């Protein structure tokens, strides 16, 4: 009889028909993944989803259909109360295993499946795209391997229309980068910070990563983040942009993405460290000839001049280099003259601060009619010859730039000759001819040749009256711009 009882107990243990796994409440289930949520978040429209499902929807520009209201992913807030309730329910009901957060690859796969079965998918992917460029939504939603086409070399630059890129610049980043892209476009500050820190780290030394990650989707996300009110997001976002801009293949893409205007806003009034990075980014982007006119048109010159005057040492140096490269274009030279920059540059030369870099800009300005006139009005001949007299140069290249600026001014004709004679230029230039380096000798020779040329009207010139008129013009200039600064 004991044997029969033992068999009865065994048969009871082996019978699972009466053991049913408890079903979780519907509010614990993510509407996108249809699984128990491990990391629930509330979005702006009030619905709750698994976090990585939200990030996947944002990345793929997809809004899941719901019965209650249109989904709005603008803000993402952790639902800690629901998360605690789910964990307590699992423990109370011996529900195993405890749900774990869904990884981003699985979330992307789920959302892509939803996209394929959505009857209104073409309308959804185009209308709900977070960027102004259509190719971002096409590339993100299609899920096909598109090449990284660069049409910049064949498409003419139109400075007034840099907020969009051509349709050939469709990028589909590999899955390994999707997590960064999703977090960049998240509404949660902690996700944004984590993404820009990772992006900055990856692009610091990895050339391949800089090229691969310079896509419309990444640039669109950065465009929104570099105006963030959170210092860490802002600083690391602009620093990552500097890293991306180091590659020549990226420079035009970045300007065409529409990121320069917010970058200029950062330079005007962002956090000090972010301002340093913004100056560096503008300098790097200005190296490409196709970008020079556009950057000037978009309004970069005034804040660069302000940074040159009152920024940190780092932003001053980068701003000076940016202004040098931008002033290689005639339209930017005209703008700089109208902004009264000549007097600022001459005052910096007199103070001996960053003389070499400022002299490069003055050389460019002296090559234009407006620049020459402003420099002659501002006392540039006397200033530059005084520098030659004192031999206050940090390098031979600075000395050469000084002579180059004087040569540019010498194209100003009789007015230059009068000012140069008054300042004793001939004696200084002869000395430079005899003792200076080869390139300096060459420039000194050219200036002397110009000074010794005979003009038809020279015999009738009243030099005293000419110099007097120059003093009147200079006095008017000082009244408008001031003697020491603009």
Domain annotation for the chain: domains and CATH numbers: 26-126 (3.30.40.10), 157-326 (1.25.10.10), 333-486 (1.25.10.10)
The reported pLDDT for the residue numbered 342 is 93
User: Is the dihedral angle over the CA atoms 466, 471, 474, 476 positive or is it negative?
Assistant: negative
Tell which residue, 169, 175, 263, 245, has the closest CA to residue 207. Answer: 245
Phi, psi (degrees; rounded to nearest 5) at 275: -65, -40
- In DSSP terms, 78 is beta-bridged to 41
Taking the C-alpha atoms of residue 330 and residue 207, their distance in angstroms, rounded to an integer, is 33
Stretch 161-176: mean pLDDT:
34
The reported pLDDT for the residue numbered 337 is 94
CA distances from 410 to 9, 147, 169, 193, 449 (A): 112, 53, 47, 54, 10
Q: What is the DSSP letter of 78?
A: E
Taking the C-alpha atoms of residue 483 and residue 478, their distance in angstroms, rounded to an integer, is 5
The reported pLDDT for the residue numbered 300 is 95
The reported pLDDT for the residue numbered 251 is 95
Give percent above pLDDT 70 in the chain. Answer: 76
Give me the helix-helix angle, 425-435 and 438-452, nearest 10°: 150
Q: What angle do CA 184, 185, 190 make, to 5 degrees?
A: 55
Q: What is the DSSP letter of 175?
A: G
Stretch 387-399: mean pLDDT:
80
The reported pLDDT for the residue numbered 153 is 33
Q: Are 196 and 122 in contact (CB under 8 A)?
A: no
The reported pLDDT for the residue numbered 164 is 32
Tell me the three state secondary structure of residue 363. helix
**Which regions of 100-172 does DSSP assign to beta strands (E)?**
none
Taking the C-alpha atoms of residue 438 and residue 444, their distance in angstroms, rounded to an integer, is 10
Q: Hey, what long-range contacts does 65-69 have (CB within 8 A, 24 or more apart)?
A: 65/118, 66/31, 69/45
> Residues 214-237: pLDDT tens digits?
999 899 889 989 888 899 999 999
Cβ contacts of 70 within 8 Å, gap of 6 or more:
45, 63
pLDDT at residue 58 above 60?
yes
Taking the C-alpha atoms of residue 285 and residue 305, their distance in angstroms, rounded to an integer, is 17
Stretch 403-412: mean pLDDT:
88
In this structure, what token pair is assigned to residue 212?
Answer: 């691969």
The reported pLDDT for the residue numbered 456 is 46
pTM metric for this prediction? 0.65
pLDDT at residue 248 above 50?
yes
Q: Which of 75-84, 143-152, 303-312 has the highest mean pLDDT?
A: 303-312
- If you search the block for the tokens 């993944």, which residue do you land on? 33
pLDDT, averaged across the chain: 78
pLDDT at residue 258 above 50?
yes
The confidence band for 211, taking pLDDT boundaries of 50, 70 and 90, is very high
């Amino acid at each position: 009889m004991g044997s029969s009882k033992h068999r009865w107990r065994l048969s009871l243990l082996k019978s699972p028909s009466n053991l049913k796994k408890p079903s979780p409440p519907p509010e614990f289930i993510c509407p996108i993944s249809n699984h128990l949520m491990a990391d629930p978040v509330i979005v702006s429209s009030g619905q709750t989803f698994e976090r990585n499902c939200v990030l996947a929807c944002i990345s793929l520009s997809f809004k899941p259909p719901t019965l209650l209201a249109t989904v709005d992913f603008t803000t993402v807030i952790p639902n800690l109360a629901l998360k605690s309730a789910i964990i307590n329910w699992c423990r109370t009901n011996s529900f195993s295993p405890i749900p774990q957060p869904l990884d981003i690859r699985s979330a992307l796969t789920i959302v892509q499946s939803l996209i394929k079965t959505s009857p209104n998918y073409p309308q959804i992917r185009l209308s709900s795209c977070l960027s102004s460029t259509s190719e971002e939504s096409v590339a993100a939603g299609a899920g096909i391997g598109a090449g990284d086409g660069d049409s910049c070399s064949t498409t003419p630059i139109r400075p007034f229309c840099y907020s969009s890129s051509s349709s050939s610049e469709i990028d589909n980043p590999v899955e390994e980068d999707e997590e960064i892209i999703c977090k960049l476009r998240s509404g949660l500050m902690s996700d944004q910070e984590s993404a820009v820190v990772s992006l900055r780290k990856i692009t610091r030394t990895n050339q391949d990563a800089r090229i691969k990650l310079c896509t419309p989707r990444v640039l669109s996300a950065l465009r929104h983040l570099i105006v963030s009110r959170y210092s860490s997001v802002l600083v690391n976002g602009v620093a990552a942009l500097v890293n991306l801009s180091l590659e020549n293949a990226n420079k035009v893409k970045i300007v065409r993405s529409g990121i320069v205007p917010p970058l200029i806003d950062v330079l005007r009034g962002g956090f000090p460290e972010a301002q340093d990075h913004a100056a560096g980014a503008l300098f790097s982007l200005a190296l490409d000839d196709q970008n020079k006119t556009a950057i000037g048109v978009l309004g970069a010159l005034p804040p660069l001049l302000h940074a040159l005057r009152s920024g940190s040492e780092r932003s001053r140096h980068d701003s000076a280099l940016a202004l040098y490269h931008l002033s290689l274009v005639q339209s930017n030279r005209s703008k700089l003259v109208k902004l009264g920059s000549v007097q600022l540059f001459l005052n910096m030369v007199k103070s001996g601060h960053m003389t070499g870099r400022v002299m490069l800009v003055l050389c460019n300005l002296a090559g234009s009619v407006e620049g020459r006139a402003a420099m002659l009005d501002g006392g540039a001949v006397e200033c530059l010859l005084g520098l030659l007299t004192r031999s206050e140069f940090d390098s031979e290249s600075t000395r050469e730039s000084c002579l180059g600026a004087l040569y540019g001014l010498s194209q100003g004709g009789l007015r230059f000759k009068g000012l140069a004679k008054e300042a004793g230029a001939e004696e200084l230039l002869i000395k430079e001819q005899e003792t200076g380096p080869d390139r300096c000798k060459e420039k000194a020779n050219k200036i002397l040749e110009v000074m010794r040329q005979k003009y038809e009207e020279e015999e009738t010139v009243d030099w005293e009256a000419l110099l007097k008129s120059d003093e009147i013009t200079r006095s008017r200039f000082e009244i408008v711009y001031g003697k020491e600064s603009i």
